[in-house]
């Protein structure tokens, strides 16, 4: 029965594709693209720059495990706070294998965001380049179901996805997002609108219209997906000096940045601060530190120490908010000036009520 239906649908879809090929997205028209559901891709800040709270995201890919917990607990136990007095919070794009779902639930209950990075986290990038919309749905929507069922995270709070190894799937991926009700993707790295140009970084935007973002990893989408957001990965400039001109190389994941003369956490701090200062003194686009969780293990713990040093520095700044990507997105949709940031709801710990519930749900860990 199901097979007959899907065959009919496939046939119909096939006909539609032949009769009516998907149109390419058009260049963005600011007069027809308004917040909160449409934003042109550009580097124009929503407010005067010094009035914008600087948003920072700490994102973690893949399994949440007791090993990663050893690192997370140094960041998120309440020592580091935002200017509104709330704990800093992160985003976890979770895959299935090795994940400890009671820990996932714990982080959600503390106000962290839980997103989907697929079930399989297949490391063969060709797989992600070739799968169709159905394949993307099985992986991303499937992981959302698992997270909801096993970690007891409300399904409508799982709104963001990241593709494994940032291997996006072009139109097929974004069509799936539209059809399955995901709100945003955060997988597309930009060098042109970040890196040494970080002072004019790319703000998050929607795919109603053609994006101006540089395509770093093919296939990039070129059709229109109204209301679907991209939260771009702003590539960092690392500390390599490959060409002897003092310029580093671009890196998307914190752990891929290189060029430290010796294992001293200060080198990490200096590299991260150099990148952050550009955007902080520039157009204040949301800045992210993206990490593959598996990276924070021996023997790189000195790198993690440098990362913590940097987070500590950020937490002391009066106009920096370290919040989940989904809350940064709410800000982009509805920006407020710095004076209002302290009482801005998305920056607040909204889920305190769930902490009580969690006492019942969470296993002793």
Cα 200 to chain centroid distance, Å, stands at 19
C-alpha–C-alpha distance, residues 103 and 89, integer Å: 15
Which residue, 126 or 245, has its beta carbon nearer to ligand NAG? 126
Q: Which residue has the tokens 């919309």?
A: 133
Angle formed by the axes of helices 101-109 and 66-76, nearest 10°: 10
**C-alpha distances in Å from residue 164, one per residue of 126, 129, 269:** 11, 11, 27
Residue nearest to ligand NAG (CB): 170
Q: Cα–Cα distance between 272 and 352 in angstroms, integer?
A: 32
Binding of ligand NAG by 222 (CB under 6 A): yes
- Name the strand (E) or helix (H) holding 321: strand 320-322
Least Å from the CB of residue 363 to ligand NAG: 37
User: Which of these segments, 90-98, 119-127, 304-312, 324-332, binds ligand NAG (CB under 6 A)?
Assistant: 119-127
Residue 78: phi, psi to the nearest 5?
Answer: 110, -5
- Which is nearer to ligand NAG, 72 or 174 (by Cβ)? 174
* 3-class secondary structure per residue, 223-272: ECEEEEEECCEECEECCCCCCCCCCCCEECCHHHCCCCCCCCHHHHHHHH
Which span (69-77, 95-103, 122-130, 281-289) binds ligand NAG, by CB under 6 A? 122-130
Q: Report in angstroms how near the CB of residue 131 gets to ligand NAG at its nearest.
A: 7
Window contacting ligand NAG (CB under 6 A); options: 120-128, 185-193, 287-295, 320-328: 120-128
Please report whether residue 15 would count as binding ligand NAG according to CB under 6 A. Answer: no
CB closer to ligand NAG, 170 vs 259:
170
User: Rounded to the nearest 5°, which phi and psi values hold at 222?
Assistant: -140, 10
Q: Beta 54-61 vs 91-94: how paired, if at all?
A: parallel
- Indicate whether 282 belongs to the interface with ligand NAG (CB under 6 A): no
Smallest gap, in angstroms, from Cβ of residue 354 to ligand NAG? 38
76 φ, ψ to 5°? Answer: -115, 20
Minimum Å distance from CB 289 to ligand NAG? 29
Going residue by residue from 123 to 142, which x/- string records binding to ligand NAG, judged by CB under 6 A? Answer: -x-xx--x-x-xx-------
Nearer to ligand NAG, 170 or 227 (CB): 170
3-state DSSP assignment of residue 113: strand
Alpha-carbon distances, residue 255 vs 57, 189, 223, 258, 303 (angstroms): 16, 15, 32, 8, 8
In the complex, least distance from residue 334 CB atom to ligand NAG, rounded to whole angstroms:
32
* Residue 10 contacts ligand NAG per CB under 6 A: yes
Q: Could you say which of 170, 227, 259, 282 contacts ligand NAG (CB under 6 A)?
A: 170
Count the residues of the shown chain that bind ligand NAG, applying the rule CB under 6 A.
14
Footprint of ligand NAG on 21-80 (CB under 6 A): 24
When asked if residue 98 is in the footprint of ligand NAG (CB under 6 A), the reply is no
Interacting residues with ligand NAG (CB under 6 A): 10, 13, 24, 124, 126-127, 130, 132, 134-135, 170-171, 219, 222
């Amino acid at each position: 029965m199901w097979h007959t239906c899907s065959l009919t649908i496939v046939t119909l879809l096939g006909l539609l594709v032949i009769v009516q090929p998907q149109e390419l997205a058009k260049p963005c028209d600011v007069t027809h693209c308004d917040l909160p559901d449409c934003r042109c891709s550009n580097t124009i800040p929503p407010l005067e720059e010094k009035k914008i709270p600087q948003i920072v995201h700490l994102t973690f890919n893949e399994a949440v495990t007791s090993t990663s917990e050893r690192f997370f607990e140094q960041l998120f136990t309440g020592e580091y706070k935002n200017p509104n007095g709330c704990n800093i919070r992160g985003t976890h794009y979770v895959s299935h294998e090795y994940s400890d779902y009671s820990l996932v639930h714990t982080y959600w209950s503390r106000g962290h965001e839980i997103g989907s990075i697929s079930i399989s986290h297949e490391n063969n990038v060709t797989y992600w380049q070739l799968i169709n919309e159905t394949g993307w749905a099985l992986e991303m929507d499937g992981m959302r179901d698992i997270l909801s069922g096993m970690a007891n995270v409300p399904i409508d709070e799982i709104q963001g996805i990241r593709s494994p190894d940032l291997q996006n799937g072009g139109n097929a991926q974004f069509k799936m997002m539209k059809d399955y009700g995901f709100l945003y993707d955060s997988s597309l790295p930009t060098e042109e609108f970040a890196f040494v140009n970080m002072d004019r970084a790319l703000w998050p935007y929607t795919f109603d219209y053609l994006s101006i973002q540089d395509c770093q990893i093919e296939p990039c989408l070129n059709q229109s997906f109204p209301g679907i957001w991209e939260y771009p990965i702003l590539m960092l400039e690392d500390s390599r000096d490959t060409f002897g001109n003092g310029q580093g190389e671009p890196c998307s994941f914190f752990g891929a940045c290189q060029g430290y003369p010796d294992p001293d956490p200060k080198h990490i701090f200096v590299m991260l601060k150099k990148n952050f200062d550009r955007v902080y003194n520039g157009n204040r686009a949301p800045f992210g530190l993206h990490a593959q969780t598996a990276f924070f293990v021996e023997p790189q713990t000195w790198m993690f120490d440098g990362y913590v040093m940097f987070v500590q520095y950020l937490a002391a700044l009066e106009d920096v908010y370290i919040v989940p990507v989904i809350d940064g997105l709410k800000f982009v949709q509805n920006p407020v000036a710095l004076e209002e940031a302290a009482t801005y709801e998305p920056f607040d710990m909204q889920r305190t009520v769930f902490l009580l519930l969690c006492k019942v749900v969470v296993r002793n860990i």
